[in-house]
Structure 1
């Protein structure tokens, strides 16, 4: 019995070793020297983070595929926009208000607020994750602190979107990022404009009581028919596309490309979730700028938990009608203790097998999924994982050996490294690669694979992918020449 137990363990270990992708051998001297320079960061007992920062700042990083527009702009930018609007900050709630108030809480202009260092530092801790854990202070749970930030800057986040997109582009160029695929916004169709309150209530109840995909499909057919027969629905989608095209002007260049996902919010009533998804699919079909549909918001929210399978069935229905529309889903952004154990058993599985997601955002609860071994095989063959180390650590408290990166890497599941909400987290894609290297020490060849994955698993067209990959090839040639020269100059 003990022999069989040991044999099973050996087979399992050999299985994971066998699934570890073999790094490509260096193709030239510069690549070999660059790889050796990277390895110098690990000669001491602790990684040389300063050298890694220098290395990854210069390294071409391909694309950032898990990227939220509003969460990627820094607080300082939003305050500039508040000032431009002539709006104010309520010093009790730290929320944006449009007029001065005579209430007990003073409303201050942005300049007045910034002049008061105590108030300004307080605002930074509420509008972002800054200083959350480096001193003692009253604080919410980290996941609440993270998701609450959007409520503070949401009134201003879409006011200067063309400016914001250019800021994101400039930041990307400065750290050698070629492509951003950002989750921009909902299309903005309101189900209440098409259904009465009583109709919506009945539809929501029926959707939540449906127990099979077939039952859900019948209900979604009826909803879709209402929208198909009302030109206002298509008009709203067309208006969204027209505004997006205007905001996108001048963004794409010879060395940079940006595309957009739209999404549904998983914490609202089912009819509105489906309305957002359907309008999102229509937007993808209407414009080459919109390349995919997602679903966002806290996965542990009560509504999100109760309606999770229903949401996956909505994606399934839409995929059967519009199979050409790409899907990337937030799934498995959960860990033990955050929800009941039963909720850790199936979220990634359903996102892949029911919704047909081509990429999974986060995927942190993989080790708890009931069908985790079959799921790993499914993901390896049909999807990629978007790894977001900073937000996983902050929101979920999962990092280092607790993070499933090593499982995905050992099994050979395609991995892309991304930022999530770099403005809220106050970091960038370079920092994510530094965390990856310092915590897990993948080879330089493996890191290059992740960079190219970020284009291969993007929702760009084949021609666009080929163009960006050719640019990457040239950028890596330059980078490796520069790193080779650096290596020779270091003692």
Structure 2
């Protein structure tokens, strides 16, 4: 009964969150006028999306804390890079071909591809989510279409990374975004260089058979010792750090900051996953530009499902050795029907309570988690949730009242709004705020809280956060003054 009472209260709060007033806080005249202008977009039954687009394009948006470098570059840009390289596109598979051969299908240049509208439009549907909903013929499931895009542009994605980072920066500046925290790449240490195939096979089997944190710790101690005693491991980490620092040159300005996360890929063998995580932690300790570690790839993948708890225990081990290194984890990017029901019961819970995640990426399956009520309290006090509305809708089919945003908001869990893969989804951060507003109608004060959350829960240093927040204060003063003027001129 007590559970039902708590659940009923939670559902009531989630229903009321869109219209519940915020606490009475002092407001400037311009801030009040800006809030009133925002509310004018909801005067009719259907929100005025055009006005919301204008409003959020102009609004300072703080930071974008959850996005992937490769998924943030548009397909058109990747094609420019393919052309620069003198590479080709296979006209059947739409894969990048570096050298023309005796292939069954003709390899075409980028110019030839673009001149053929049928081929060009087909490529855009495979390299991004473009026109997916317009198709009436047989096609891949949405999640497969989304994640397959990375395989198409992966050969070119890191060839012009310095250019790509500047493109992401320019887009951020155009959107009035002050800070971006980009999931860049793995460090690139190959476990096969340190362990024989037979050793790796035995280690992987032992890790997968371990049933307690203590057993996992003992195995990770042995692996870590091999890496600690081998100078080439540290050399590879330092090479990665040097590359990041080189590519970052000229990015930061007085009004803009970019930092990076590195990650492991959860669909690989356990030894390689741990190798990537350990290398990532050491990279964070080696450079102020690399601020966090993550784990990526489809959470519903068979390997990812089977090794999920093991991966969380790897983070638990690393947190105990490197407590100063922040980490945000993709967790709960699942929904009913996507996996067996038992897999919806614990992913976010373990990401926070075993792995100690500072932020949760996605967190969509919260309503299905067995310990959801205690988990909400845990998140409210110790972590933030990165909400990615566009990708959640496309990959999971979760949107509107099916999305757990209302639960998190009602409970007071810190929320940040982010893009995930804006190049694949073909949107931007302003669009994510438009979706948020048009679907849930949070107050302007609540939206400002989310903007400041994107700095408060970033992995910047305290001094860097203070600097960006002062800049954000000034930007909001300008924005609210402009919106106040706009409100006076609108009839």
TM-score by length of structure 2 reads: 0.97
Comparing 282-291 with 18-27, which one deviates more in the overlay? 18-27
Cα drift, residue 327 of structure 1:
0.7
Range with greater deviation from structure 2 (28-37 or 7-16): 7-16
Are 2:247 and 1:218 aligned? no
Report if the CA contact (8 A) 1:25-1:445 is conserved: no
Q: 1:407-452: per-residue Cα shift (whole Å, max 9, x none)? A: 0000000000000000000000000000000000000000000000
Q: Deviations over 1:160-189 (max 9, x none)?
A: 000000000000000100000000000000
Q: Could you tell me whether the CA contact under 8 Å between 1:58 and 1:175 is conserved in 2?
A: yes
Question: Is 1:348 matched up with 2:354?
Answer: no
8 A contact 2:14–2:406 mirrored in 1: no
Cα distance, 1:100 vs structure 2: 1.1
The corresponding residue for 1:168 is 168
Cα distance in 1 between the residues matched to 2:132 and 2:3: 46
1:287 & 1:200 partners in 2: Cα distance?
30
CA distance in 2, matches of 1:345, 1:278: 28
SS at match of 1:251: coil
Q: Give the corresponding residue for 1:80.
A: 80
Q: Which residue of 1 aligns with 2:271?
A: 271
1:59 counterpart residue number: 59
1:386 aligns with 2:386: yes
Q: Provide the rounded CA distance (Å) in 2 between the counterparts of 1:141 and 1:17.
A: 31
Segment of structure 1 superposing worse, 107-116 or 21-30: 21-30
Q: How does 1:275-354 map to 2 (within 5 A)?
A: 275-354=275-354
**Partner residue, 1:240:** 240
Structure 1's 76 and 221: CA in aligned 2 closer, same or farther, altered over 3 A?
same
Give runs of aligned pairs for residues 89-168 of structure 1, distance below 5 A: 89-168=89-168
Residue 373 of structure 2 corresponds to 373
**Partner residue of 1:440?**
440
CA contact (8 A) 1:26 1:445 kept: no
Counterpart CA distance in 1 for 2:14 and 2:140 is: 39
Q: CA deviation at 1:102?
A: 2.7
Deviations along 1:359-405, one digit per CA (max 9) or x if unpaired, are 00000000000000000000000000000000000000000000000
State the alpha-carbon separation in 2 of the partners of residues 15 and 445 from structure 1: 18
**How far apart in 2 are the matches of 1:219 and 1:95?**
40
In structure 2, C-alpha distance between the alignment counterparts of 1:141 and 1:462, rounded to whole Å: 43
Contact 1:264 1:276 in 2 (8 A): yes
Which residue of structure 1 lines up, in the alignment, with residue 453 of structure 2? 453
Please name the residue that 1:186 is paired with.
186
User: C-alpha distance in 2, partners of 1:397/1:135?
Assistant: 16
User: Which stretch shows the higher mean deviation, 126-135 or 289-298?
Assistant: 126-135
Using the alignment, how far apart are the partners of 1:21 and 1:308 within structure 2?
A: 40
> Shift of residue 27 of structure 1?
1.8
Indicate the residue corresponding to 2:488 in structure 1.
488
Name the SS for the 2:94 alignment partner: coil
From the superposition, tell whether residues 5 and 307 of structure 1 become closer, same or farther in structure 2 (CA, over 3 Å): closer
Distance 1:12 1:101 in 2: 62
* Counterpart-to-counterpart distance in 2, 1:14 and 1:431: 28
Write the distance in 1 (CA, Å) between the matches of 2:226 and 2:316.
Answer: 20
Q: Distance in 1 between matches of 2:112 and 2:24?
A: 56
Contact 1:26-1:32 at 8 Å conserved across structures: no
Q: 1:163 to 1:176 in 2, by over 3 A?
A: same
Structure 1 residues 159, 10: CA separation in 2 closer, same or farther (over 3 Å shift)?
closer
Give yes or no for contact 1:61–1:176 (8 Å, CA) kept in 2: yes
Partner of 1:133, secondary structure, is helix
Q: What are the residue-to-residue correspondences of 1:35-50 with 2, within 5 Å? A: 35-50=35-50
The question of whether the paired residues in 1 share the 8 Å contact of 2:333 and 2:365 is answered with yes
> What is the aligned partner in structure 2 of residue 258 from structure 1?
258
Distance 1:204 1:84, change over 3 A: same
Gaps of 5+ in 1: none
Structure 2 unpaired stretches of 5+: none
Q: Is the 8 A contact 1:260 1:292 kept in 2?
A: yes
- TM-score, normalising length from structure 1? 0.97
Q: C-alpha displacement at 1:139, in angstroms?
A: 1.2
Change (3 A) 1:24 1:255: farther
Range with greater deviation from structure 2 (22-31 or 480-489):
22-31
The whole-number CA distance in structure 1 between the counterparts of 2:470 and 2:404 is: 32
Q: Alignment partner of 2:133: what SS?
A: coil
Query: Over aligned residues, Cα RMSD in angstroms?
Result: 1.7
* Residue 9 of structure 1, CA deviation: 7.5
C-alpha distance in structure 1 between counterparts of 2:133 and 2:244, whole Å: 38
Specify whether residues 369 and 478 from structure 1 end up closer, same or farther in structure 2 by C-alpha distance, changes over 3 A only.
same
In structure 1, what is the Cα distance between the partners aligned to 2:147 and 2:104? 28
Q: 1:293 aligns to what SS in structure 2?
A: strand
The Cα of 1:321 is off from its aligned counterpart by: 0.1
SS of the aligned residue for 2:330 comes to strand
Q: Per-residue deviation at 1:103?
A: 2.2
CA distance in 1, matches of 2:65, 2:135: 33
